[in-house]
Amino acid sequence: MKPLWTVLLAVVVMFVQVFFGSLLSLLVPDRAGPVLQQLAGAAGITLTALLVVYLVRRFLDRRPWRALGWRRPWHLLSGVLAGGLPILAAHGMVVVVGAGTWVSLDVSAVLALLPALAVALLLGQAFPEELLWRGHVFDSLRQWLSPRATLIITSVAFGSMHLISIGSGSAFGTKLLYALMATTLGFAAGAARVRGGGLWMAAGVHWGFHLAWRNVPVKAGSYELLLVLMAVGLALTGAVLLWGRDGVKAAPRESGRVAA
């Protein structure tokens, strides 16, 4: 029951950090503009995630904070490439097969807003979600499950939550495809956790995914086809990251204490 409890609690924590963290944006006056409000909400989500995950690990799971994997912060950048490239490739393929078109952009306006958007995506989605799933949940499940089972469960649980996401569309089939795509994102991020040995590469994959999807100048005529192509690309990315990693095949149990 402990693995199930860990996953169910993570689902609750995910909603808590988004809801209560976003309230910080209400403290920013309207005259400050939507950009500052968005940044404040994103910062609130990260701060709430850090607090709640710390409390869960300190008083419920009793797991060490360092076991989340804070080593090698520079792996964030390699994760961005790993998460962004399959999304760019998927949009390019949509255009090639005639199911999408390039759109014109005001480059100066995009570049002006890009830094704020990047920070908001990192603090509002990429880091807090990976802190929870590929950080806390991944580490906790490794106490009882094999690395392979941990990777599968965290990916499926993360993807299933996206059945009710705003971007999942209205048709049930589209929702399933969106959840499938989110599952492969979780798989790629989990593979990055295994490859990088810590949290940062996983956060980078998630961040690169959103940066690419939000900024690529392509209008897809078939949203469902785009979801499938992104899912395939992310699944391949995860497979490449796991290539040659024996750690996902073995079944060691992490305890957070130094083994004799």
Question: Rounded to an integer, what distance in angstroms lies between the CA atom of residue 202 and that of residue 188?
Answer: 8
- pLDDT tens digits, one per residue of 124-182: 999 999 999 999 999 999 999 999 999 999 999 999 999 988 788 889 999 999 999 99
Give the pLDDT score at 107: 84
Question: Rounded to an integer, what distance in angstroms lies between the CA atom of residue 154 and that of residue 138?
Answer: 7
Give the pLDDT score at 256: 41
Pair 7, 155: CB distance under 8 Å: no
- Coil vs helix vs strand at 219: strand
Q: Which amino acid is at 177?
A: L
Question: Rounded to an integer, what distance in angstroms lies between the CA atom of residue 59 and that of residue 4?
Answer: 18
What does residue 256 show for φ and ψ, rounded to 5 degrees? 85, -10
Give the pLDDT score at 249: 53
Burial 116-152 (b: 16+ CB within 10 A, else e): ebbebbbbbbbbbbbbbbbbbbbbbbbbebbbeebbb
Burial 210-245 (b: 16+ CB within 10 A, else e): bbbbebbebebeebbbbbebbbbbbbebbeebbeee
Residues 6+ apart with CB under 8 A from 126: 203, 204, 206, 207, 209, 210
Which regions in the chain score pLDDT beneath 70?
1, 246-260
CA-to-CA separations, 26 to 23, 38, 41, 61, 73, in angstroms, rounded: 5, 10, 8, 33, 31
Packing angle, helices 107-121 and 34-56, rounded to 10: 20
Give the pLDDT score at 106: 85
Whose CA is closest to 57, among 46, 47, 68? 68
Give the pLDDT score at 260: 26
Instruction: Show me where the domains of the chain are located.
Output: 2-246
